[in-house]
Structure 1
Amino acid sequence: MLVLRHLEHVERRFVAPVVTLGNFDGVHCGHQVILRRAVATAREQGGQTIAITFWPHPSAVLAPTHATALIMSLRQRIELIAACGVDVIIAQRFNQRFSNITAEDFVRRLVCGRLGAQRIVVGHRVSFGHARAGNAEVLRRLGAELDVGVEIVEPILAGDHLVSSSAVRRAIRTGHLELAQQLLGRPHTIAGRVIHGHHRGRSIGFPTANLRVRYAMVPPDGVYAVRVRHRGQWFAGIANIGFNPTFEDRTRSIEAHIFDFEESLYRQRLEVAFVRRLRGEQKFPTPQALAAQIERDVAAARAALAQA
């Protein structure tokens, strides 16, 4: 799998390329259908699949005070797109200059000219080009003019819910993790690096890894049953998000305790998958009372993870 950063700098020639494009934030069930359809089409004609995604999110450049909250980091996005079988990922750097490229120029000069697309597969809500002037209908018209096949993938439902990145964001923001999992096809997962904390967890028998998370939607404050990925292996655990009211902290933190784990995790990259919300954050009269509650939380988390 090849990762490139600039469409306009691509020099190589691809074999019978099938191109798909979108923000793909979350790589939810709908995105997965689009990506796998593109992969299947490419394989049928002995070609390669190219997925174009954008970083940062266009809203961060065009409307920074109202930027869209991202479901996941670019690294996570690339890993999940690659897992669908895509051969080439172009993580196009989105800036003011790129935003001025018209929809027609984007398709004619870059997608078909630079990449040599023979077929384009996109979702029904696709938008591209300056002022988001490009859509599925524009793509169909340009495809017909350029003799490039265009396939528009219809909306995807997860149960009774229309799958979209916006729906995933709403579910995470409101703490509806089961719905988020249904839309994503997996638990919502954040990634970050372990930083120094106050070591209070260790002092009461529950050492935690404090995560610095830069690009991901963090669920509401509370205690969660989680799975933690470290060096490719998943471990059961529990996580707390919030301000540690027992200790009157003023900074929001994300702390994960991995069951039966003794290694130092400082500066390590971890992924935390949220399986179930156990309770809201509470203030306890003493650290001992907090430790007793954590014992109960651990038991509840083990039970929840055993059923998941």
Structure 2
Amino acid sequence: MNVFDLENVKDQNAGIIAFGFFDCIHLGHRQVIQKAVSLAKQHGEPSSVFLFKNNIFPLIGIEKHPIFTFEERLRFIEELQVDNVFYIDADKSFLSLSPQGFLDYLKGRLVIKGFTCGEDFSFGQNGQGKPADLLRAFGNTSAILDLCMSNREKVSSERVKRALSEGDIACAEKLLGRHFTLHRTVAMGRKDGAKMGFPTINFSMDMLRLKKGVYFTEVQLEGKTFRSITNVGEHPTFGDYSCNIETYVLDFAGDLYGKEVALTFLKYHREIRTFAGVDALVAQISQDVNARRDYD
């Protein structure tokens, strides 16, 4: 898959391009993208996705945070067999463009033969641009998709975030249309786990709003899958109230610091608790490990 910065392209053939916010590539997003891929194949054109690289919400005064990084979203899009991604690192001036200004910006850089989007897609300043405007500009080979529904409610990024904030991994999976998986680089931790006989790998939580607690997880690395248990949040037994993601990988020995691994969440297991001492914590972790082994 080719990835282009829109600021650096001119007269690039985008073929059939999918429009949307695409901040977590949930079921609705997937349908829009898959339709673009299908139409592109039918007409012998490349398939493309328009993507914001950054979190645009703070630029318009809204306090929202992404679930996935830009790199993770690229990975999910590539899995859908898209040919090109055209991204922009938006600023306030770009978000202030009128709908026609937005269309002119695209026309000055891309050759668009058709598009796909959801019926609720909007663009330009204050979301004034609508799918009908895209039809007038690029309507030769296009599809405007109905809202994607689940349990009579629109599938949305906010529903995914709500499920994750409640620890409802099964619901998040249903809305995403795939496992909830993070692709992150292992960071240096406090090494408390290693001292207790449970060496862990650590990840930053960034702005992820995941329910704090202990989860059953699995780790994919070097082409293999390992069972794991993951603590999301603080470490109160050690007086550490900073939040991170800390994972103990069962039946693995090796140094993963600085490497990228895939961490898949399977089930919320229990709340974080403060233990009287290290021995009590070790006993609980041993129970957690046994429960994880029995899970699958």
- Of 148, 163, 179, 2:140 maps to 148
Corresponding residue for residue 256 of structure 2: 265
C-alpha contact 1:5 1:90 (8 A) present in aligned 2: yes
Size of the aligned set, in residue pairs, is 296
Corresponding residue for residue 21 of structure 2: 23
SS at match of 2:50: strand
Structure 2 segments unaligned to the other structure (5+ residues): none
Between stretches 149-158 and 118-127, larger displacement belongs to 149-158
Note if 1:180 corresponds to 2:180: no
Corresponding residue for residue 129 of structure 1: 124
Cα 1:218–1:209 shift into 2, 3 Å: farther
Note if 1:199 corresponds to 2:191: yes
C-alpha contact 2:226 2:251 (8 A) present in aligned 1: no
Q: Distance in 2 between matches of 1:250 and 1:55?
A: 31
SS at match of 1:131: helix
SS at match of 1:42: helix
- For the aligned residues, what is the CA RMSD? 1.9
Q: State the Cα deviation string for residues 215-270 of structure 1 (Å, max 9, x = none).
A: x5241111000112334543220100121111121211210011111011112223
1:171 deviates by 1.0
C-alpha contact 2:115 2:142 (8 A) present in aligned 1: yes
Provide TM-score, normalisation by structure 1. Answer: 0.89
Identity of aligned residues (%): 28
Please identify runs of 4+ aligned residues in structure 1 that moved more than 4 A: none
Q: Distance in 2 between matches of 1:258 and 1:252?
A: 19
Note if 1:221 corresponds to 2:212: yes
Q: Distance in 2 between matches of 1:123 and 1:50?
A: 15
Structure number having the greater strand percentage: 2
Cα 1:147–1:83 shift into 2, 3 Å: closer
Q: Distance in 1 between matches of 2:253 and 2:28?
A: 39
1:289 deviates by 1.2
1:210 deviates by 1.5
Corresponding residue for residue 49 of structure 1: 47
Q: Distance in 1 between matches of 2:114 and 2:294?
A: 48
Provide TM-score, normalisation by structure 2. Answer: 0.93
C-alpha contact 2:212 2:233 (8 A) present in aligned 1: yes
Q: Distance in 1 between matches of 2:140 and 2:108?
A: 11
Structure 1 segments unaligned to the other structure (5+ residues): none
Counterpart residue type for residue 4 of structure 2: L
C-alpha contact 2:214 2:272 (8 A) present in aligned 1: yes
- Of 93, 102, 117, 1:106 maps to 102
Note if 1:84 corresponds to 2:80: yes
SS at match of 1:290: helix
